[in-house]
Structure 1
Amino acid sequence: MHDGDDETPARADRDDMAQSGGSIPGLARAAFTVQAGRRAGLPLLIAVPHAGRAYPPAILDHMRDPGEAMVRLEDRHVDAIARRVAEKTGAAMLIAQAPRAMIDLNRDPGDIDPAMFRGDRTGMVAGARSLRGLGLFPRRLSGMGDIWRGSIPAQDAGRRIGAIHAPYHGCLGRMLADIRERWGEAVLLDLHSMPSLVPVDGGGGPAATHVVGTRFGRSCSGDFAAAAMHMLEQGGVEAAFNRPYAGGYVLDRHGDPRGGVHAIQLEIDRATYLADDHAPREDGVERQAALIADLVHALAAVARERAARAQAAE
């Protein structure tokens, strides 16, 4: 199984600001797109790993209920918010085009359920998440059962890792390293969406519409988490911290606070920006983009302050 970083550079699409990289097996499409920050820029990268909607025909044919599975697995249209935030702030952006149904970019490449595959399964070892049906290759959803009509050829696992997962994370790592080298500190805002939550105590109070995840403090320094929570509360939203979502593989792999790379996951309630038919609402997208743009500026300010203090101490 191949899980190393793909060193193939991202390809330029239209100009030196927009690029793409990786590839989607079975479809003539890049696995992800990249937009570098404007020249003034920010020490921050927005990444969107779960909003991909480029489905090869063979994947759709193999799904038991494509419509339901896509709605459940995708962070539906949260990339529209990311793009609007990048326009407002000039932040760099990395957006996956490959769908989560094919491979989950927020999972360890070794967390594979061998029972999904047929053929040579050497090296496949089930992890905790894959045994629950949501490993590197999603298998089942609660209330829906198995996503797929049957098993998948084992070689497809390696193809997807090599064409999608490895180049995505290789690109993400290089972008963060570039930001860290330029600014002294780098911030990753890993953007997701979630189903509406219910109040934790089961009472009548409002449920959180945003959840900040930091792997319980392991993926970023506390001043970034404090700034994120403060900004969201100032924005008038109910925000939760690390529960029920603390982040996953993206934060584990790329968050390195001691090395000057700080990674935060942000979950946004889909009801705040999607209509009943799961299409984006312009007012909801704009409202969320304005809120997240303020968050981006707050996190960037913390990064600049930390870098200035470190430089002054040298």
Structure 2
Amino acid sequence: MTIFTPAATPFRRLGPESPATPVVLSVPHAGRDYSDALLNASRLPRPKLEALEDRLVDRLVWRAVAAGAPAFIADVPRAEIDLNRDEREVDPAMVVPRPRPSPLADTARTRGGLGLVPARLAGAGAIWRQRLGADELARRIERVHRPYHAALEAALEAARARFGIAVLLDCHSMPPRRAEGGEPPVVLGDRYGTSIAPALADAAEAAVRQAGYRVGRNSPYAGGHITAVHGRPAEGLHALQIEIDRSLYLGPDLKEPGPGFDRVAALIADVAAALAARALAPPDAIAAE
């Protein structure tokens, strides 16, 4: 299976080139640039593949970008490659020639069909008509996965060089949750306190509550590969994942913007502002936590 991404670049950078705030935004799962080759390789129709998306989250970050935070937006769809997975999280059964097990990571995500290249969808079965060529997998890693993470790292390093600290806000959405069960519609993931200083995570949580939303921490989403790799508090680099219930900002079909769309855009901007304010607030030595 050979698939070539038609876009000149697999992701976009929005916002200023020079750091105006210590906060950097990441939107890895909202890509909608489905090539004909990708769609032809799938045994599932495009609407099924779109179920993998964090629908329209790329359009929710505009207020934060307008306030000075750079944002990195994936255009390549998650069906082609998942930027929130380790590049070793590959199901060896879907690649030909079959890679040796040693360089691969056997995780619950790969076993569930949601590794670096998604293999299966719940309720729909296998995604692809045939196995993925090892050369094509290598191309996606080299052209999409590694450049995206390198761009995030460079932006965070630039912010840290200017402010002495940098914070990545990794933006995602999740399927609608059962409000009657008391499940919060916003979940912050700090990898159980390892990817960001507690004071910063607390500031983000307070901003969500101030905006009028209930918020949880780490359950059911504690943060993925992006927060794990880029969140290194001991080095002054912090990362926090935010998951937002899609029913808060999409219409009943969960496809198009709903009446709460701009309110959620304001929420993301509020969280980014709270993180920046807490990061820069003297005399706290957050970078040393």
TM-score normalized by structure 2?
0.91
8 Å CA contact retained: 1:210, 1:267: yes
Match of 2:261 in 1: 285
Secondary structure class of the residue paired with 2:24:
strand
The one-letter code matched in structure 1 to 2:251 is: A
Deviations 1:237-287 (A, max 9, x none): 111110000001001100011111110000011111112333332632211
The one-letter code matched in structure 2 to 1:108 is: D
2-structure distance, mates of 1:103, 1:272: 27
8 Å CA contact retained: 1:112, 1:124: no
Correspondence 1:155 to 2:135: yes
2-structure distance, mates of 1:125, 1:282: 41
Given candidates 143, 153, 173, the residue that maps to 2:153 is 173
Moved more, 147-156 or 165-174: 147-156
Correspondence 1:49 to 2:28: yes
Secondary structure class of the residue paired with 2:206:
helix
Given candidates 73, 78, 96, the residue that maps to 2:52 is 73
Match of 1:295 in 2: 271
Moved more, 129-138 or 244-253: 129-138
Counterparts of 1:193-204 in structure 2, within 5 Å, are 193-198=173-178, 204=180
Correspondence 1:258 to 2:241: no
Deviations 1:68-91 (A, max 9, x none): 43232000101100123312x221
Task: Identify unmatched segments of 5+ residues in structure 2.
Answer: none
Counterparts of 1:1-314 in structure 2, within 5 Å, are 25-37=4-16, 41-87=20-66, 89-119=67-97, 121-122=99-100, 125-128=104-107, 129-198=109-178, 204-281=180-257, 283-305=259-281, 309-310=284-285
2-structure distance, mates of 1:126, 1:290: 38
Q: C-alpha displacement at 1:54, in angstroms? A: 0.7
The one-letter code matched in structure 1 to 2:211 is: G
**Distance verdict in 2 for CA 1:309–1:222, change over 3 Å:** closer
**Distance verdict in 2 for CA 1:43–1:238, change over 3 Å:** same
TM-score normalized by structure 1?
0.84
Moved more, 187-196 or 114-123: 114-123
8 Å CA contact retained: 1:192, 1:266: yes
Q: C-alpha displacement at 1:183, in angstroms? A: 0.4
**Distance verdict in 2 for CA 1:120–1:243, change over 3 Å:** closer
Q: C-alpha displacement at 1:207, in angstroms? A: 2.6
Moved more, 280-289 or 102-111: 280-289
Equivalent residue pairs, number: 283
2-structure distance, mates of 1:39, 1:162: 26
2-structure distance, mates of 1:223, 1:25: 43
**Distance verdict in 2 for CA 1:240–1:310, change over 3 Å:** closer
1-structure distance, mates of 2:141, 2:32: 18
Secondary structure class of the residue paired with 1:283:
coil
Coordinate RMSD, CA, aligned: 2.1
Deviations 1:181-226 (A, max 9, x none): 1001101000000001236xxxx45431110000000100000111
The one-letter code matched in structure 2 to 1:249 is: H
1-structure distance, mates of 2:19, 2:195: 26
Q: C-alpha displacement at 1:38, in angstroms? A: 7.5
Deviations 1:11-42 (A, max 9, x none): xxxxxxxxxxxxx9341431111124376821
The one-letter code matched in structure 2 to 1:217 is: G
8 Å CA contact retained: 1:86, 1:92: yes
8 Å CA contact retained: 2:15, 2:65: no
Task: Identify unmatched segments of 5+ residues in structure 1.
Answer: 1-23
